[in-house]
Amino acid sequence: MNFGLVSRLLSVVMVIIALAFALCLCVSILLDNEPDQGLTIAAFGTSLATSLIAAGFLYWVGRKAPQRFYRREALSVIGLGWILSSLLGSIPFLIATPHIGISGAIFESVSGITTTGASVLSDLEQLPHSILFWRSLSQWIGGMGVVVFFVAILGFLGAGAKLLYSNEASGSTFDFEESRVQSAILRLIYVYLGLSACCTIAYRIAGMSWFDAVCHMFTTVATGGFSTRTESIAAFNSAAVESIGIVFMTLGAISFPIILATLNGRFRRISTNTEFKAFVVILLASSAIVSLNIAVEAPGDDVVDTVRSSIFQTVSILTTTGFATENFARWPSLPQAILVALMIIGGCSGSTAGGIKINRLVVALRLCVMYIERSFRSRVVRQIRINNRTLSESATQEIAMYLILTGAIFLSSVQIASVFEMGTSMGTNLSAVQACLFNIGPGFAGVGPTETYDSFHSGTKLFLSLLMILGRLELYAVLALFAPSMWKRLD
């Protein structure tokens, strides 16, 4: 392990977080009112100073490190970077909202950085503007990934940049030439910034204030789901706002390399992309079924409003955004069952969405079909193809192992959560684990779209925080940190 280089790279992550705190400090000075302003200035001033001190110390430790950068270093930078960012991100909450405690502050910070959207805060309208801004900004930073941002500005990594992007962003880098991976990632960031600008303008035209438009842009494009209002998007009661949300949540859940290829006129990439086509089919089919079922179950309601809210909620859950316009915990059983499935599936690889990702679902289904056929035609050899490319046996095994490991973590996590929450219903514990592990935010029962996680035990909040990071980084970057062989020194 090249500890010095890892330390130096982590210092860049700390600088990015420090810049975010500086922006929030400006918001506090400009928008917060007394007596909150003094508290929020202290909160973000302390956070900024801590981040800069941490960055300076980490850079000093790694200033003379060799440039050797391999998979172990990539995993450790990703895992430690997210953990350190989350801990630093909790400082403003701890100072400005002390009633939520240390575990609540960490939970809120992790939920933001991982774009989960679960919250322990209520009465959001009573919070200072700068705290609301930080909640949203943290999701925007976490959406594309702190590490992806700094890869784009560090030229010396070379092949290491490719390792960092593929490990953090769940992205496929087969289209990136090794010598040009930095510029390719920079173009993806341009796409992210472009979507952000368009979303902000659209929300403003739809009637939001500039502050609300910017904050909701942060969390829409990042598919995070934090809002400036307690009632979430429903507070605006606007078909235009919801339509804009549907468009940009969907774009946020589509693979960014696919969006980039489309903007470059390479339309064939869409027609040959298995994951994109599956995403569209799942989105349309689930929206149609949910809308039809709710319209039939509630015939007296306005059909247009029913369809609008059903589509919005379905898109919000599939993209793992978590915005709410309806209390879907009260919906009939069939729409609820569909939403539970969508929570697990999530969006496309290389997007800001959570879940297991649609490409893994497609591969898993094709593997199942192949092995069923092999049960009665043992000599038949089939190849798994995705995006007109044949997957190697090692790639299919890796996907199968990821799904098995995810299932094992999910089941064991429900048991652990139940130990902390013995007085809580199994449905609430199960839904909380699912919503956090797959980065959804709201779930069912006690963690529905109108509820918060504030009532959970401190130990539960910390454990769910770990699950959010596990889900965001797709397990390995966190689990590898606990492997002793990971930390062997360079020879």
Instruction: Give pLDDT, residue 179.
Output: 46
Which among 53, 27, 54, 51 has a CA at the least distance from the CA of 41? Answer: 27
Determine the average pLDDT of the residues in 123-136.
95
pLDDT in tens, 47-80: 999 999 999 999 999 888 777 777 788 888 888 9
180-230 confidence digits (pLDDT tens)? 666 777 888 888 999 999 999 999 999 999 999 999 999 999 999 999 999
- pLDDT exceeds cutoff 70 at 135: yes
**pLDDT band, residue 468 (cuts 50/70/90):** very high
Report the candidate in 153, 174, 151 with the shortest Cα–Cα distance to residue 161: 151
Q: Give the mean pLDDT of 157-177.
A: 55
* Confidence at residue 180, expressed as pLDDT on a 0 to 100 scale: 64
Residues linked to residue 385 through DSSP beta bridges, in sequence order: 390
pLDDT of residue 245: 96
CA distance 162 to 6: 16
Residue 160 pLDDT exceeds 80? no
pLDDT (average), residues 87-115? 95
Domain definitions of the chain by residue range? 271-344
pLDDT band (50, 70, 90) for residue 149: low
CA distance 191 to 350: 13
Q: How far apart are CA 144 and CA 166, in angstroms?
A: 12
Q: In whole angstroms, give the CA distance from residue 283 to residue 345.
A: 11
Give the pLDDT confidence of 371-424 residue by residue, as tens digits: 888 888 877 777 888 877 888 888 888 888 999 999 999 999 999 999 999 888
**Crossing angle (nearest 10°) for helices 210-221 and 129-144:** 30
Q: Is the pLDDT score of 241 beyond 80?
A: yes
pLDDT range class, residue 490, cuts 50, 70, 90:
low
Supply the pLDDT for residue 286.
Answer: 95
Is the preceding omega at residue 35 within 30 degrees of 0, hence cis? Answer: yes
Dihedral angle over CA of 28, 197, 469, 486, nearest 10: -110
* Structure tokens belonging to residue 232: 């979430």
- Give the pLDDT score at 178: 45
Integer CA distances (angstroms), 434 to 222, 402, 453, in order? 19, 16, 13
Place of tokens 């940049």: 161
Output the pLDDT for position 303: 78
Residue carrying structure tokens 């430790």: 61
Q: What is the pLDDT of residue 173?
A: 43
Task: Give the pLDDT of residue 371.
Answer: 86
On the question of pLDDT at 158 being above 80, the answer is no
Task: State the average pLDDT for the chain.
Answer: 88
Give CA–CA dist 239/245, Å, rounded.
10
